[in-house]
Every structure is written in structure tokens, then in C-alpha cells.
A and B are shown apart, each in its own frame.
Chain A
Amino acid sequence: MRRVLKPTPTLTLPRWAGEGIGFAVLGAYALLYASPYGLRVLTVAGVYALAAIGFQIVFGLGGALSLAHGAFFGVGAYATGILGSQLGWTFAATFPLSILVPFLLALLVGLPVLRLESHYFALATLGIAQVVLLLAVNCPGLTGGANGLPGVPGIVLFGWAVPRGLPLAAVVWGFVALGGALAWSLARGRWGRALTLVRDDPLAAGALGLDVGRLRLGAFALSAVYAGAAGALSVHTQRVVSPEVLEFPVMVSILAIAVVGGRGRVAGAVLGAVLLVHLPEWFRFLERSYLIVYGVALLATIVLLPEGLTGLLDRLFPPRRRALPAAVAPSAAASVEGAVLRVEGLRKAFGGVRAVDGVALTLEAGSITGLIGPNGSGKTTVINLISGLERPDAGRVVVAGQDLAGKRPDRIARAGIARTFQAVSLPEGATVLEAVAAARLERDRSVAEAEAHALWALERLGAADLAQRPCADLPAALRRRVELARALARQPAVLLLDEPAAGLTDAEKADLAGHLRAIAAAGTALLVVEHDMGFLLPLAGHVLCLDQGRTLYDGPPAGVRGDAAVVAAYLGEDAP
């Protein structure tokens, strides 16, 4: 039974209202009040807004602190500067190339650096920025060296030389609107949702069929497109390109804009840029002291508004809660009978420790298999090896006739294997419906379709009333339920559950057991890692017990308690 929560009686606005009102205010200011100086500052703000929108994609949505974003900005600027001032090319030719060059550079450097973990990635991208800066300074024949290149022509659109002031501001903000609309649309679509999950939990993203590497590379390259476009426009506004466009203050400005405005939000990029570009101008009368006031204002904003300006606006004017979609069952997966997963000779060692040593198992469609053993016996490693989070040293993982051992997690997930994790990890900023819908992003054609299917999965587990609740608010038992729904939404042939009953009350365990039986009855093969024998043995049709990576017992659950080796290694003599 699905219950739709009633919205609280507060002033709510459509999601696009804030952006619309903001643009209208900016437009009115530009048209009615702004002096040439005001328009100039507004134009610079537009340039930084465009750069920050791109940064929101890689940093805000993708969670990758790319310190090369300033370098891509500079590369776009230099492409325009060199082609415009040295070769006399016009905007129609320089602008696309100023986007293309940083895009290609991002693809080139992204492949190796995106494999690095967070802080190493940040350092590597900082290194890229330094190399590009050194090249700009030390190749004076091409770049003009430290002096840079003057004489960059202005923007010419369809034969119209765009003059300074309102027309230039309008063109720059036109690109901001265009880029903002595209980024907004991407962020709300399947790609943006997938990227957010990659940011929040890359392991889960991979296990849900999302190609983490490809998504990250796409975000990195797309952000470079925005940075390049902003760099090109920046050069057109000041008619000279010099190494300052590649220096760290540009990167810091973009980062500060994204954080102050609101991480991951297009509106945040625009608000942050408008505020942070204007702030120093407002305090300029203080001469040298303005930096202190500017710094204090910036610090206060970050401390008092950790979610940025858009977070504050959301608190003041909560966006209208979206109505739940109607639950729709996804088209039924092809019915499979017999063995759906065959594992043979699986081995994995970590240094001198053999975590898994020759494990073999077969899961039949509709069966429930228990996997038990003492801590450190290799149970979770077996699940990790099957699901692709670890690469086996040897062995086969055969699904539908294909050996998937050592393949990427997303490839294995797409082959029909889903899993849950011992420590439940749900994206804190997402609602339950959004978290479960993430499992369908790789399969469905739209977010709406994914959410309809997600609601079906929640309904199957009796959790539809949680759909609009934030994941962060859920107690442990409900988090496990939501995670199970997420895995179920994949319609897997094989479901790997890592201690699904941990922390549950007896009533909750009974409820969970009922759901697992129903899932198995629908044809899915379950492999359940569990320590609670009272929960597992009545549930499972077959049990494997591991000890020190080796199979100690492989047989019916009834034989577990009577097996001397299992008792000695795991259950103990006093086991009930």
C-alpha cells in the first residue's frame, strides 16, 4: 500500500522559479541600472559563472576535486588568444577550438589521473595546471611568454562585432544561460543522478551497473568544455591573454564560487559568481584593507552557510515536493532455470594471506544459499570477487555461460548479479526513491521511468511509504530494507547479501526472511552471508562454511550443527 506524504504548509516554489527570478533580476539590473563599469563586472561574473557551472559538474556532482579546472580555463583562453591575435581567426573558429582543445586535453590526462583517489587526484590535477603554466611562460614564441599576447579581437557574431557594455554582457550571459540549462538538464537526468551516486559511493555505483570510470571521465571532459568556453570569453572581454589566466588564483576563485554558491547546483555557480566577483568591488574603497574584509566575508559565508547560498534559499523557500510517480513493474527478466551462477576454483591472496583458496559453489535459480564462517574466513571476499570489487588470482565466475572473473563491477552487474554491503551505504543527500532509482539508471530511458520502477521495488518490500524520506533520516533496519530494494530493482538473476540481518530485531528478521523467500520464489538465486544461524538455517536450502579461505562444509543446513569441523572452527561446542 503506497501512501503519499502530505506536504507541509510552507511557501513553496517550482524548482525553476529561483533561477528564473534570479535571471530576471540580473537582466533588469543590466538593462536599467548598470553603468559601463557595472556591466563590465557583470560580464566578468558571467565568465566565472560559466567556469563554475563546469566545475559543479566534476566537483559538485562527480565529487572529484579537479585543480586542473583553472588550467582548462587558461588553455581555452590561450587557444583563443593565439588563434585570434597571431592567426587572425574570428570568434566562429576560435570559440569551438577553445572548447575542443581543453576537452581533448582532459580526455588525455583524465585517463590516468581519474584512477587516483581523492587527494592524490587533486595533487595530480594541480600538477597538470603547473605544467601548463610553465609551458605558457616558457614558450614565448607561441604564447608570448610571461607578457602574454595582446591584440585579441573581440567577439564577432554573424558579422556583428559585439561592442563592450550591454551587448557583450548579454552575449556572455547568453552562454551562461545556455550552459546552465544544459548542465541543469544533465544534473537532473540519468547522467547527473549516476554521477552523484559515483560521488557518494563509487563502490555501490559500480555494483549497480554504472561505469564509474566512464562517468568520471565524461564529467572531467565536460567540465573542461565549460572551462574552455569561459576562458575564451574571458580573453574576449579583456583582449589580452597572459599567464595569469593559468595561475592558481583563478582556480581558487572558481572553487570558492562553487562552495559559496552551493555545491553541485547551477544556480549556486551563478549566485556565487555574482557575489564573489562583486564583493571585492564593493569593498575596493578600503584600498589595501579590502582583502581582509573580503576574506572575513568569505569565511563567514562558508561557516554560516555550509550548504552555500542555494542551501539558504532552499531553507527559506523550500522547493515544492514532487509528487510520487505511479509504481510500475519493470518488464520481467528472462526466466532462467537451473544454475545461474557457477564459481570454480576461486582464489585470492592479500600479500601472504590466502583470503579465498579454491572456493567453488553453484547457485540455482530460486535457491537460497547460506555462506557462513568465522570472521576473516573469506565470506565477504567471496562476494567481492563474484561482484567484481576484487580481482581473483585464479578461478572462474560463470554467469549465463560467460566467465566474468576479473571483469569490472558494472559489467558483472549488467550480467545479472546484484549485491548489498555489510555496512549499508546510501547517499545521504538523496531521498529513498532517488537512492533506489539509481539502480535503474543504467537500464531505463529516463529518471521518471527509473523512479516508477524503483517505487515498484519499494512496494515489493513494503517500503513505499519511505519513498520521499531522506536516506540520512532512516534508522539502520530501514536502511537495510532500502538497500535491499535497490538491489532488487536491478531484477537480478543472482542476489548477494552481506549480513542482511545484522542489527535487526527478531520481528524485523522474520519480516526480512519472508521477503527473501518471496524474492527467491520469483526466480532469483540468493547467496546470504550471515552469522545469525537462527535466521539463516531455516531460510537457506544449502550452506557453505568457510574457514581460512577454504570450504569447510558444503551441504544442507541440517548438517551444519552436526559437522565437527564447522563446530570446531566456527560454531563452538556451546552453540544452541
Chain B
Amino acid sequence: MRRILPLLFCVPLLCAASGAARAESVSVPVLVPLTGFLSLEGTSQRNGALLALKNPPAGITADAPVIDTGTSPEAAVTALERAAGGPVTAVVASMLGTQMLAMLPLAAEYKLPLVTVSGTASITEQSNPWVFRFFPGDAVTKEAHARYVVEELGKKRPALIYQTTAYGQSGKAHLETAFKRLGAELVFEEGVDPAAKDLLPVLTKALAAKPDVLVLHLHSAPTALFVRQAAASGIPVPIVAGSAMHQPSTAALLEPAELKGVCAETAASPISGGSPEVEAFTAAYRAAFNAEPDAFALGQYDGTRMVLDAVKAGARSAEDVRKALSTGTHQGLAMTYTSDGKGNMAHSAVIVCYDGASRVPAIVKRYDNITGVVK
């Protein structure tokens, strides 16, 4: 079965080719950061979208021009303006929050649905009906993060180390609220610049506060650096990291032994398996891109599939797609997606942990239907 399932990702392509004469044609530009500090995540996002668009449902052909948005809002708006020059069904939009915030007014003006995996909370707080987030926001993931720390590990004195970026500040705010509500006292919190080359000072300061768990909310490279320095120091408390830790590209920066006992929250962990469909996705992804998929790839795949399914179901315009995304439910590979009325489609998160023997984590806890106050 596992060998057959990846073929399912190719069958629609064959069907589409044979029925090209009556195929419904859609254009879904992919505007993601392929260069700059978010290039790894942006590449995952692109790959997830392309995997869906190159294997559309039968009767649909998809055009998917890819435009690099870099990391500046200005470049993202320019990319959207460029993409909007032709007939567009929906747009796969950057996972970078500041770029999304800049693209939103233009998307509303052009009436283009933006399908993203950005975790920045405020993008769905702009009363803009054209944004759809297929990745749990911080209101979901940080709730799961804090609950796992307090309820499953029984820790009450967490130390929080976060990034001084939009991602970091948003996560920090949600973690503070969640820990307070769960009765855990943050004994230490400090922001770290993404360019910091040595995290031992902040680790030392955190341990001086005598925490019973280290909670990280850092980008990929700083997460790997912190975990490596913590392993080298032989710290006596567990680490529960943010979603960057689950990325195979982050784990690849560490030895399996350094990962022992480290856990992380994430929307999904496709390499951890869990269902034949997810395993088929992972195999197809590896075959197509010679890389390991992460939650961003899977989330973007699911979001793009929902767009294509909407077209398959009869959506013929961007407005039709928007309505379908706003009101429909999609059984994706990572979770079930449905809008909360603001464009937040994902409401589940998982906790993964590494056993110290491999870089593939196991899913140890799943949190579904989390609702939270988005900050």
C-alpha cells in the first residue's frame, strides 16, 4: 500500500493530461520567501504548494508561477502586483507576517484569496476576508505548547527564551498568557536577536533562575544552536521548543544524541508518519524535491488542495474560491480545516519528541479544536 500511495499523487496529473481539452485551468501564483533568513521555510512552503498544484484533481490544470518575495514587505507587495497582472484564482502567499500585512490591502483591492501558512496572529485580525491561514496561529500552538509543559510534564517554573522578531514577540505574548492561566510562573524570559552567535550567556542566565523547564520560541538556526549548547552544558531540565525544532532542516544541524529528550510543538510532523496518506505525501515530497517535508510544506499542501478542491467543486472565480474557503471544511492530511470566520483554518497542534537515536521525532500528544483569543 505504501508503495502504491505515492502514485496517487501522480495519477491526477495523467488524467489531467488526457482530458486537457476540457480541463478547468487555474492560475495560483506562489509568492514566498526563497531568499533571506526565511528561505528554508519559504522553500518548504513553495514545495508544498507545488506538490499540490502539479498534482491537481482530475479535470483541472494548474499554472503556478513562483516569485521570490525575499523578506521585505515592499518586495512582497511588488510580487503580488506582478502576479495580479493575469487571471488569478488564488495566491499562495508568504509565511512572513510583515509581508502578509503589506499584501492584505492589495489582495482586498484585487479581490484575491491569499492562502498562507504564516503564524503571525495579526494577519487574521485585520477584518480582511481574503486571507486564509492553513497553519495554526500562536493562539493554537502556544496553547498546546504551554499545556504540554504544565499538564503533561507537570512543570510550574518555566524559563522562556524567545526571538526578538514578529514571530518571537507574538509567541512570547501567547505563552505568557497561557502559562499564567495554567498557574505556572515564568521565572525567566529574555528576547534573543536572530543574529546572535552564542546563546550560552542567555542559557546561563536562564538556569540561574532555577527553572524546571526551558521553553524556546526561536527560529530554526537559533533553536539548533541553543539545543547544541544546552546538550554540551548537560543541563538538568527538559527543553520544549517552538515549531522550528520539528523542521527536519533544524534537526539536521544536530546530532541525534543532542536531541535526546527535546520536545517541540508543531502543526504536524509529516516525517513522523501517522497515516498512510501522510506517509504517501512524504514519499512524494522526497521524490519531487529530494528533501524532507515539514509542517509548513504539509500545511501549504493542504491549503492549496482546498483551493483546488473548491475549483473542482465548481468555483470559477477568485470570489467563488474565497466563499468556498470561508464556509467549507477540508479534510487535510495534517488536520481538518475550517474557518473561524476570520480566516484561521487550522485549530490543531501536536507535540513531538526526539528519542536521541534518530532525527525523526515521534508525535507524543495531539491537541485538536483549540480555540483561543488571538492577540
Contact = CB atoms under 8 A, between A and B. Distances in A.
Interface stretch (B6-14, B100-108, B304-312, B317-325): B100-108
Contact of A287 (B66, B73, B85, B122): B66
B69 to A, nearest CB: 10
Contacts of A44: 74, 78
B78 A151 contact: no
A557 to B, nearest CB: 69
B164 A137 contact: yes
A145 B101 contact: no
Interface string A197-237: 00000000000000000000000000000000000001001
Interface string B215-238: 000000000000000000000000
Contact of B166 (A37, A146, A164, A234): A146
Contacts of A140: 169
A35 interface: yes
Nearest to A284: B67
Interface string A274-290: 00000001001001101
Interface residues of B, number: 35
B371 interface: no
Contacts of B105: 150, 239-240
B361 interface: no
Contacts of A137: 164-165
Interface string A38-49: 001100100000
B164 A150 contact: no
A137 to B, nearest CB: 6
A281 B83 CA distance: 12
Contacts of A66: none
B77 A147 contact: no
B57 interface: no
B73 A37 contact: no
A146 B78 contact: no
Nearest to B39: A288
A147 B120 contact: yes
A287 B34 CA distance: 8
Contact of A288 (B35, B84, B109, B164): B35
A40 B98 CA distance: 19
B102 A40 contact: no
Nearest to B121: A147
Contacts of B73: 148, 238, 240, 242, 244
Contacts of B167: 146
Contact of A244 (B39, B98, B168): B98
A40 B78 contact: yes
Given A242-B73, A284-B67, A287-B68, A148 B84 contact: no
A290 B66 CA distance: 13
Contacts of A35: 85
A281 to B, nearest CB: 7
Contacts, number: 92
Contacts of A37: 78, 81-82, 84-85
Nearest to B125: A150
A148 B101 contact: yes
Given A288-B34, A288-B35, A147 B166 contact: yes
A240 B164 contact: no
Interface string A254-289: 000000000000000000000000000100100110
B170 interface: yes
B41 to A, nearest CB: 14
Interface in B56-87: 66-68, 71-74, 77-78, 81-82, 84-85
A40 B78 CA distance: 7
Given A37-B85, A291-B35, A148 B78 contact: no
Nearest to A249: B72
A12 to B, nearest CB: 39
B49 to A, nearest CB: 14
A36 interface: yes
A375 interface: no
A41 B81 CA distance: 9
Contacts of B164: 137-138, 146
Nearest to B105: A239
B50 to A, nearest CB: 12
B136 interface: no
B34 A146 contact: no
Interface centre among A41, A137, A147 (most CB of B within 10 A): A147
Contact of B97 (A40, A138, A147, A290): A147
A288 B70 CA distance: 10
A244 B34 contact: no
Contacts of B78: 37, 40-41, 44, 281
Given A41-B78, A244-B71, A287-B68, A150 B85 contact: no
B126 interface: yes
A147 B169 contact: yes
Interface in A142-158: 145-148, 150-151
A240 B76 CA distance: 12
Contacts of A238: 73-74, 77, 102
B243 to A, nearest CB: 17
A287 B33 CA distance: 10
A240 B102 contact: yes
A137 B98 CA distance: 13
B102 A239 contact: yes
Contacts of A148: 73, 98, 101, 166
Nearest to A165: B81
A37 B106 CA distance: 12
Contacts of B85: 35-37
Given A36-B84, A37-B82, A242 B101 contact: yes
A137 B170 CA distance: 12
A238 B98 CA distance: 11
Contacts of B109: 164
A148 B191 CA distance: 17
26 contacts: A36-B81, A36-B84, A37-B82, A40-B82, A44-B78, A138-B191, A146-B164, A146-B166, A146-B167, A146-B168, A147-B97, A147-B98, A147-B170, A150-B102, A150-B104, A150-B105, A151-B126, A234-B74, A238-B73, A239-B105, A239-B106, A242-B102, A243-B98, A287-B34, A288-B34, A288-B39
Which 3 pairs from chain A and chain B are nearest by CB? A146-B166, A242-B98, A147-B166
Given A36-B84, A239-B102, 8 more contacts: A137-B165, A146-B166, A147-B101, A151-B126, A238-B77, A240-B102, A284-B67, A284-B68
Interface of B: 34-35, 39, 66-68, 71-74, 77-78, 81-82, 84-85, 97-98, 101-102, 104-106, 109, 120, 122, 126, 164-170, 191
